[in-house]
Amino acid sequence: MATFKEFRNNVKPNWCPGCGDFSIQAAIQRAAANVGLEPEQLAVVSGIGCSGRISGYINAYGFHGIHGRALPIAQGVKLANRELTVIASGGDGDGFAIGMGHTVHAIRRNLNITYIVMDNQIYGLTKGQTSPRSAEGFKTKSTPEGSIESTLSPLEIAMSAGATFVAQSFSSDLKQLTSLIEQGIKHEGFSLINVFSPCVTFNKINTYDWFKENIVNLEQFPDYDPSNRMLAMNKIMETNSMLTGLIYQNTSRKSYEDLITGFKQEALAKQDVMITSGEFDKLVAEFK
């Protein structure tokens, strides 16, 4: 069984010192080892942004996609090879702005992949503009007088879209984050894990200290039941989406793959896809 170190490679991350994404990378590597994966059993697909670099920093199959398109690629990988554990990753701009349409439909579709969003509430790679996760009044290069748009709540959107696994964590809480990724990997269906990942260079408001003061950890509520959808939605709204922990999980709904009639367990590469000349002629005849 592979160890945490075997999911490392020789590529040195070029994130800013102190970036929360370092911890998220470590949590993915630890979780992969803890659930018993080998590097060749894991595929990490990322989009664009600071977070998009993560697919090249982990010793596994990696695919660096285009802006907002990590999820379509990740879903294609999973459909082509059900044997792979697939993790998609991106930032709040990647997943909740240009890629929001893909995010909502991936949640609704419930394919068996894990989506980790590195939420720094700003556009870091393009040097500090407002993101859909920035608060009203947030001043950046694109909103010098303060943002006049309301803050998007990905947790509420995920719940309303029919998510079967919704979690949120903080990059400083490596133990909790690793555990949630493990649970997300094991979940049979789409797993959304939003992670507060402070941008130390451009976001001077939502800092590590700010998150520590505002986060509400679900461990404070020993009677909390993550299988209760109504309770989960109420908690999200009560805490202004600042919850951390496993917020909601539905284990009764089947994954997308299991609902496809005749969908084989074997990867395409292992299937016999040869057809006879007669079958080929029949297919061609359909287009005449």
pLDDT given at position 141: 87
Residue-wise pLDDT tens digits, 33-72: 999 999 999 999 999 989 999 999 999 999 999 989 999 9
Q: Is the pLDDT of residue 80 over 90?
A: yes
Across residues 169-198, what is the average pLDDT? 98
Residue 111 pLDDT level (bands cut at 50, 70, 90): very high
Homologous superfamily (CATH) for 4-285: Thiamin diphosphate (ThDP)-binding fold, Pyr/PP domains (3.40.50.970)
Residue-wise pLDDT tens digits, 157-171: 999 999 999 999 999
Q: Is the pLDDT of residue 267 over 90?
A: no
Q: What is the pTM of this model?
A: 0.94
Residue-wise pLDDT tens digits, 235-251: 999 999 999 999 999 99
Q: Is 196 in contact with 211 (CB distance < 8 Å)?
A: yes
What does the domain layout of the chain look like in residue ranges?
4-285
Q: Kindly report the average pLDDT of the chain as a whole number.
A: 95
pLDDT given at position 246: 98
Q: Is the pLDDT of residue 274 over 90?
A: no
CB proximity list for 255: less than 8 A, separation 6 or greater: 110, 111, 112, 188, 189, 190
Please state the three-class secondary structure of 45-73 as a single string.
EECCCHHHHHHHCECCEEEECCCCCHHHH
- The one-letter amino acid at 107: I
Which segments of 133-275 are extended strands (E)? Answer: 165-170, 191-196, 216-217, 243-249
pLDDT given at position 272: 84
Q: How far is CA 279 from the centre of its chain?
A: 41
